[in-house]
Amino acid sequence: MAVTVYRSRQTLRGPLTPDRIAALPLPLTRRGRRGYQVDEVDALLHRLAFELQRRTRERDDVRAENQRIKSALRAWQAEQRTYRDP
C-alpha cells in the first residue's frame, strides 16, 4: 500500500513543527457549499500540534539519553584499555 503525502497549492516548505501546524490557515468554502467546519479543523490542527510537540520532546529525550549512554560506554572502554595496557 502506497503512502501519500498531503500537498496543497501553498505547500509548506521545511519540516512540520507544532507552531507551523497550529498556525496553518486552511481555505474556507464559499457560502452554500459543503466543506469542513472551521472549529473542527482548528481543533484537529491544535491536537496534531500538541501530539507532534510531545513526540518531538520524547524523541529529543531519547536522543539525549542515548548520547549519555554512548559517552559513558566510551569512558568505560577507555578505562578498561588502561587496565589492560599498562
**CA–CA separation, 18 vs 47, rounded Å?**
9
Domain ranges for the chain: 38-86
The whole-number pLDDT of residue 70 equals 98
Is residue 12 within 8 A of residue 24, CB to CB? The reply is yes
Alpha helix (H) residue ranges in 1-86 = 18-22, 38-84
Residues 57/60/64/70 CA torsion (nearest 10 deg): 140
Predicted confidence at residue 74, as pLDDT, reads: 96
Alpha carbon distance 66, 18 (integer Å) = 24
Q: What is the pLDDT along the chain (86 residues), one digit of tens a residue?
A: 555 555 555 556 777 778 887 787 777 777 766 777 778 788 888 888 888 899 999 999 999 999 999 999 999 999 988 877 66
With 0.85 as the threshold, say if the pTM is over it: no
Residue 49 burial (CB count, 10 A)? 19
